[in-house]
A and B are shown apart, each in its own frame.
Chain A
Amino acid sequence: MSTMPSTAALRQGAVPAPRQPRRIPRPALGNFRRFLSPLALVALWQAGSMLGLIPARTLAAPAAILASAWDLTASGALPYNLLVSLQRVLLGLGLGISVGGGLAIIAGLSKRGEDLVDAPMQMLRTLPFLALVPLFILWFGIGELPKIGLVAFGSAFPIYITLFAGIRGADPKLVEAGRISGLDRRGTIRHVILPAALPSALVGLRYALGTAWLSLVVAEQINATAGIGYLINDARDFLRTDIIIVGLLVYALLGLVADALVRWIERRALAWRPALVRS
């Protein structure tokens, strides 16, 4: 969370949007060339496995990984465990976004709220939240609760920090224009302050998703009986490196999908931004 962008940079309009450079059509060959080296690496890996240079218990061959991915999908084991993991992330994220967002709104909209909320949040934020695992196990046992709790705890802070900064960064001139146009306090929050904070909050959402996956990976290492993490741990006991890799690939794919989702939300919700309007 130390890589959080500065609030100044988050303030919309603080920096004039650079003109979109004209896209130079890239030759198809150039695009293809980018895939050459990864493909070559996979080919080398496969060859090494076939020649017996890479033992399967160290790293399974790409072909074996593909085969077990197929088997796991066909048997329903992968879809089932994926659903369990997804449910943990969604519940945790939902909780984290609600709590982090709610606290940010309380702290952002009033000085008293800030005094009440911000200090403890800033203190808790410095805590490496993954170190809370032992405490969470003591509090919540080893069921779903500590896993969802960890995801929620990790994702609440990016949302809190960015939404709080976004609310405080709302242009007072626009707030004044809203007031003179007849907006009451609620109308001002709805029509001026929250939309102004949205770009910043969406950056926070992207961070929150990243943290959520990270928390999930850690949480699923603790006594899970289902989920992608369980699949990986179980495979470890049987030296099935092929299944472990499948699990890792699924984690990576989930991260990619989540990122694409936020980008999609940004394109729709921030369609008014100059950079997006022009392109």
Chain B
Amino acid sequence: MMMPRRRTRSGGMPEQRPEQAPQRTPERTSERTSERTSEPAPERTRAGRAARGSFEYLDDRLPAAEGGSLLRKAFPDHWSFLLGELALYSLILLLLTGTFLTFFFHPGENEIRYDGSYLPLKGVLVTEAYASTLDISFDVRGGLLIRQIHHWAALVFVTAIGVHMLRVFFTGAFRKPREVNWVVGVTLFVLSVAEGFCGYSLPDDLLSGTGLRVVQSMLLSIPVAGTYLSFFLFGGEYPGEEIIPRLYVTHILLIPGLLVALVVLHLILVVYLKHTHWGGPGRTEKNAVGQPMVPQFAAKSAGLSMMVFGILTVLGGIVQINPVWNYGPYRTDQVSTGAQPDWYVGFLEGALRIMPPFETQLWGHTFMWNILIPTVILPGLLFLGLYLYPFLEKWVTGDSAEHHVCDRPRERPVRTALGVGGITFYAVLLLAGGNDIIAYGFGVSLNGLTWLFRVLLVLGPVAAFMVTKRLCLALRAHDLERVHEGEETGEVHQTVEGGLGEPRRPLSQRERYTLLMRQAPRPLEPARGNGTEDDEGDSGGDGRGRRVAARREQLRVTLSRWYYQDRID
């Protein structure tokens, strides 16, 4: 299959191996003129000779010369392309701080009497996991700082992945040839949420234990297999003594291993496929225009990494997060008010809170739809939708060309509107997860809020879709007005007749090119002939197969028309 054919355009150094010269040791050639061989001129300074010697030493053992072409690799330059790096650097900080924490955390569920320096809990029966977390917070030098950096970095990690995913979605960077990278990325998202859940459940405090109970009820709600799954996960009745060590292994080995491997794959794919770039003069689907890796991109990246590390450290140092000593150890019969999970799980919490109490009794068993739908089916459908979106869009639009130029979101109104509708859905669920806090803070009825969120969940995304689509079309119309009539200057003058006028300045050539360079695609045409006319069925099955295929094609054309019919030219 064809590899993507894009030339990097950053003045790349042609890849070359240094010739295998007959003399391996560099000679002192300061007195001689350069030889007329195919070899490059011998270095005249000691530093030059040392550099050449060390490079040859490495290249004899490692693929150093192959790495040379990477040095000038073009990285398209835009702030929105750095969002993934925020996630990458948060992950690095998580690995570093997490390693420190593993030196002091003991994932045991055997109960001991707490005997550290936090006096209000002195003598209280707590699990070893909880006690070691308190030790890290109060008795290990720098422990609380590292713990808080770790937790803040986790929140920023999931946030950065989400924002990066949205950028990729709205610019259409998931299209061919990047569908596999999109699948890898969504998997990273799912893993990061799971990793965060495991992480904050490790201290075995009251708040995270409440979340653990929610997970157990989520498992129990699964029909037929639920009880077995719950007993399998917890090693018996809830809460048992197995869950914390199992979460620990998952949190420090299984998921981080997968995360690192998938991140490496993700980055390799970005390097191999080359990053997308925004449209403009000189940028086509066949090239990648950007800054070379060394020194510009590497410097920018290094600077960003320092900023991320710095800001996360400051956050970890001055903003308290997850004060488990305030919550107390986990007791299965207790729960405190204002209990919410970490923000990235909040949408599931909200779904659970606003779900109406549907359950059915069948054959002596209760099917708890009010748990199953919000916590199992809803996230399943959401992530399935995310995974499948590139393929769905490809089917609907019939677009199988390679795409390397980013779409401006306004150029794809339906896709952008679908994305905003999805975000609205997520936001309503997230707010619903904090319905008790909102009711308390604003003094409104909790039941009223629940009903409000139920209504908003259904109507909000639809309204958001319609408004966003119209906004995109309006923005595109405004762009075209600017192209055809020029930019308003704002310098108002009064005419001789007494009217007011404002001259318009034509756009620059580059801006006009960027705005006009792409046409909105056309919807799919229906196939020639109607759908269901061939029914001289050889066999009934064959005719039915043709009818089903025709129906599918009809659906495809209808959806394609819905996608692309509104256009401003």
Q: Do A and B bind each other?
A: no
